[in-house]
Amino acid sequence: MRTGWYSKDLGDALMAHLELGQIEAAGRATLAERPDVANFAVFTRHSSAGRLQCAVTVYFTPAASILASQCQAMRCRRPDRAGLELLCGDAASWRLLADSVD
């Protein structure tokens, strides 16, 4: 089942830092302009999946869909909470990752 979540694979973590910084800056700018947007958050996950280098994936909550679109992210399933880090946004958005929410 698809949800309103979006993701973007940034590839190798060593090379992704520039784009990750741009996404974080854009997210913080959005929040500065519209601090009342509930559940706006961007999460990241670093994974190696047996590779030598870690890869970075960015996940956008449904409330961050405009930013996701600007970043050319693709629709995806709600990510598992394990291994996620909050890059920017509403800390209360962690509740969107609860097992009972889809």
Write down the domain spans for the chain: 5-89
Query: Angle at CA 60, nearest 5°, toward 21 and 1?
Result: 150
More confident residue, 97 or 1: 97
pLDDT band at 100 (very low <50, low <70, confident <90, very high): very low
Q: Quick one: pLDDT at residue 51? A: 61
Q: Is the pLDDT of residue 1 over 50?
A: no
C-alpha span between 79 and 10 (Å, rounded): 16
Residues whose CB falls within 8 Å of the CB of residue 68, separated by 6 or more in sequence, listed in order? 6, 8, 60
SS3 at position 83 = coil
More confident residue, 3 or 87: 87
Q: Helices marked H in the chain — which ranges?
A: 13-33, 65-70
pLDDT of 2-46, one tens digit each? Answer: 469 999 999 887 788 899 999 999 999 999 998 888 899 999 999
